[in-house]
Structure 1
Amino acid sequence: MAVESVTEAAMNWGTVSGASMVGMVISLLLSVGLPIFLGVFIYKKTRAWVPAFFIGCGIFVGFAMILEQICHAIMLTVTGSVIRDNLWLYAIYGGLAAALFEECGRWIAMKFFLKKHLTRENALMYGAGHGGIEAFLILGMSSMSNLLTAAMINGGLMEKTMTALEPAQQEVTYHQLSVLWTTPAYQFYLAPVERISAIALQIALSILVYSAVKTGRKLQLAAAFGLHFAVDFLTVVCASTIPTWALELGLLLVVTVICVAVYKLVYLSLAEKKV
């Protein structure tokens, strides 16, 4: 009884603000709506091959969500805290792993799955699928979970449900859930900005890899790998040193520069050469 009293006294359940929940709803809608919008928009504008969108979805799931996660499980278990507790090593490893698996997957998609449909329009469609499913799985699923949990917290149901847990489990779960009402509301609106940047980057990288496969220029494949690594590496490093809003705006600026460069130097040149 004494332990339970102390635990209950330490758990001051807050309320998830309406502003925060609106941010979660926007994140959920964007993670579902933006990929669909892009797929439809690209199709209407270019008559791209629709299956390319779903190939992009499948490659991301297979290479990033399955193979890469297996790699993480092995590497982080073998190395213990050596990588996990060192910011620079973790950023380098994370960036290299993401770039390796996703760019290899992208290359395989262009080389084999899109072999008979290898056009720049289909590369756009592929990129929309690759980045779109990433947005849904990372932002959409978490936003859905956060919304349901926030509703349970505000309705008092979560507090009642927690009584079935052991005191130690209650405390751990409480601290995990407290993020929903202690996080400033504006941060829930930054997640969609981050996903917009990520989708745009995935499309740009898809154009680079497409060009590398189509023209045989391996330097462009290396550029895709390098850019992917650099963005992920800087994101991890900067996340612990600068405010979230500054990180997301900085990321948006960097990705914008990358997209403009790829569009002018690669996409337009491919059109001129009718590649």
Structure 2
Amino acid sequence: MQDMIFSDGAMLGYGITAAVYLLLPCAALIQMLRHNAARIYPVIVGAIVWFVSVRLCDLTVSVLLLRVSFALKTVYAAECIAYFEEPGRWLAMKCPLTDIRKPGDAVCYGIGHAGAECLNRALSVLQTIRLGQTLNGSGVQAFLADQTPEKAAETLKMLHYYADGSLFSGMLGACCAVTNFGVHLALSLLIFRKIREYHVKRRWLLLAILLHLLLNAVTWLASFSGRAWVVSLTGIAAGIGIIALIMRIIDGASLIDAIRYPLADDTE
């Protein structure tokens, strides 16, 4: 355990994952610009809603779980975020001030929403890279100084989890980032399409929450394997399944055509 290091492959893998997180929103926005369907306002709305949802979730968990450790609060917040993000998405699609009127606007909202999350995760991955540099340069003892045996055991477990990464797991992490981004776009289109149906009930909001919870739950369960590549692979499979289900429910092909060929858009 004293010889634990981040391999060159692991560092490169984390670097690739961080780069993908940073480039995804830009690539998606450029693609929308190619079809003259990009609007900055919905992107900003999406980013703001994500930020407010996360802060409200963190605050709620902190108030309700005062005696729980910070690490557990973080876990609970990650699992409960769907209860805040999806109602926020629903309200954003419903509120006239957001001016989300076309499928392209819904996608731009999703880009802002998922893009803010991508930036947050990219910063987290960069912190992991910094952690690896410190571990490789100063050794394990740099993290264990003045820690209790219980805390030291937790720290060693955390270091081992991240040091166990590889180029392969980094590539899987990048692919998982893409599918998670796609899930946010699909959820935005689901709410956009269904909120406009006559006499529609809020069952579609419930479905969005359940699908978001499902994605979080399966990756959380996979985390007990202690292997980052298992978590990523599980997230990829769940993400693809959720996207396919949503696209079938909303007739995604017609929405894509409405974005690619604006003159044929009759959704207003």
- Whichever residue aligns with residue 64 of structure 2, its letter is M
Q: Match of 2:39?
A: 49
Q: Deviations over 1:61-101 (max 9, x none)?
A: 1102x0011122123336x59xx6xxxxx88x964x22210
Structure 1 residues 273 and 265, CA gap change in structure 2 (3 angstroms): farther
Pick aligned residue for 1:22 from 12, 36, 42? 12
Taking structure 1 as the reference length, the TM-score comes to 0.76
Higher helix share: 1
For residues 197 and 7 of structure 2, what CA distance do their matches in structure 1 show?
53
The question of whether the paired residues in 2 share the 8 Å contact of 1:27 and 1:191 is answered with yes
- Whichever residue aligns with residue 258 of structure 1, its letter is I
- Aligned-pair distance for 1:105? 0.8
More displaced stretch, 18-27 vs 236-245: 236-245
Q: Match of 1:274?
A: 266
- Whichever residue aligns with residue 156 of structure 2, its letter is H
Aligned-residue CA RMSD (Å): 3.4
The question of whether the paired residues in 1 share the 8 Å contact of 2:93 and 2:192 is answered with yes
Structure 1 residues 221 and 268, CA gap change in structure 2 (3 angstroms): farther
Q: Match of 2:261?
A: none
Q: Match of 1:7?
A: none
**1:225 partnered with 2:209:** yes
Q: Deviations over 1:94-128 (max 9, x none)?
A: 64x22210111101211226643321111111112
- Aligned-pair distance for 1:172? 6.5
**1:68 partnered with 2:57:** yes
Q: Percent identity?
A: 20
Structure 1 residues 173 and 113, CA gap change in structure 2 (3 angstroms): farther
For residues 261 and 167 of structure 1, what CA distance do their matches in structure 2 show?
48
Q: Match of 1:38?
A: 28
| Higher gyration radius (CA) | 1
Q: Match of 1:178?
A: 159
Q: Match of 2:146?
A: 166
For structure 2, which runs of at least 5 residues remain unmatched after alignment? 259-263
Structure 1 runs of 4+ aligned residues shifted over 4 Å read 158-163, 167-174, 241-244, 269-273
- Aligned-pair distance for 1:41? 1.2
**SS of alignment partner, residue 196 of structure 2:** helix
For residues 93 and 162 of structure 2, what CA distance do their matches in structure 1 show?
44
For residues 134 and 115 of structure 1, what CA distance do their matches in structure 2 show?
20
Pick aligned residue for 1:236 from 217, 220, 237? 220
For residues 273 and 36 of structure 1, what CA distance do their matches in structure 2 show?
25
Taking structure 2 as the reference length, the TM-score comes to 0.78
1:146-225 equivalence runs, <5 A: 146-156=128-138, 165-166=145-146, 168=148, 171=152, 175=156, 178-179=159-160, 182-185=163-166, 186-216=168-198, 217-218=200-201, 219-225=203-209
The question of whether the paired residues in 1 share the 8 Å contact of 2:183 and 2:242 is answered with yes
**SS of alignment partner, residue 214 of structure 1:** coil
1:60-139 equivalence runs, <5 A: 60-64=50-54, 66-77=55-66, 80=68, 95=79, 97-112=80-95, 115-138=98-121
Structure 1 residues 174 and 241, CA gap change in structure 2 (3 angstroms): closer
For residues 172 and 238 of structure 1, what CA distance do their matches in structure 2 show?
21
**SS of alignment partner, residue 178 of structure 1:** helix
The question of whether the paired residues in 2 share the 8 Å contact of 1:24 and 1:147 is answered with yes
For residues 94 and 146 of structure 1, what CA distance do their matches in structure 2 show?
18
More displaced stretch, 167-176 vs 101-110: 167-176
- Aligned-pair distance for 1:248? 3.0
For residues 62 and 56 of structure 2, what CA distance do their matches in structure 1 show?
10
For residues 28 and 184 of structure 1, what CA distance do their matches in structure 2 show?
14
**SS of alignment partner, residue 134 of structure 1:** helix
